[in-house]
A and B are shown apart, each in its own frame.
Chain A
Amino acid sequence: KAGVTQTPRYLIKTRGQQVTLSCSPISGHRSVSWYQQTPGQGLQFLFEYFSETQRNKGNFPGRFSGRQFSNSRSEMNVSTLELGDSALYLCASSLDQGIGYEQYFGPGTRLTVT
């Protein structure tokens, strides 16, 4: 069974631009979560989608948004990029979020904002 895939793997953008990252979960998984990893803040939760609905949201500004499609694939969008948005963005999928479900992570998208 294929793992979680994320595209693109690397991205360089300029301040003020916007970016869209994509995540394809493991087949059969319906929950997709997004995390931001930086050297200073570590891994921080962005949001979680389940059955095309945002079920949980972390403490990030409204510039960060996401969505999930009927095939469970998910995208996250960051508008008006800032230098501080440079990070590794990780996507995780699970059968469901809650009791007992293991989360599987993708390889991440490395975003560099210049």
Chain B
Amino acid sequence: KQEVTQIPAALSVPEGENLVLNCSFTDSAIYNLQWFRQDPGKGLTSLLLIQSSQREQTSGRLNASLDKSSGRSTLYIAASQPGDSATYLCAVLAKAAGNKLTFGGGTRVLVKP
């Protein structure tokens, strides 16, 4: 059974600092891994999708890496801003999970001005 873990559960950084968010998963037989952002009481906004054959994906200040063999992904957010405050979730799409997304518990990020 695929399990996805995100540590830490919460993170507070001063504005301008780089953010590093971690995601680990137990079954490396995945199709892809997706990072999402969720603002309080809102839906999920897709940030980055990394296919299983890729090592990383970049979009603006965001960069996500994927190491399937070790079951890890890292989301980097450069030069954080107060507007980056949100909960960040990673999710994997794996055959063992019946082609459904399995989510981590999320990391709640607060960027202090």
Contact = CB atoms under 8 A, between A and B. Distances in A.
Contacts of A97: 93, 99-100
A112 interface: no
Which range holds the interface residue count of chain B? 20 to 34
B-side binding surface: helix, strand, loop or mixed? Answer: strand
Given A105-B36, A105-B44, A56 B98 contact: yes
A33 B106 contact: no
Contact of B46 (A100, A104, A107): A104
Contacts of B51: 100
B99 A103 contact: no
B86 interface: no
A105 B37 CA distance: 11
A108 B93 CA distance: 21
Given A33-B100, A105-B36, A108-B43, 6 more contacts: A6-B43, A42-B103, A98-B99, A100-B32, A107-B43, A110-B41
11 contacts: A43-B89, A45-B100, A56-B99, A90-B43, A92-B101, A97-B99, A99-B32, A100-B31, A104-B46, A105-B43, A106-B43
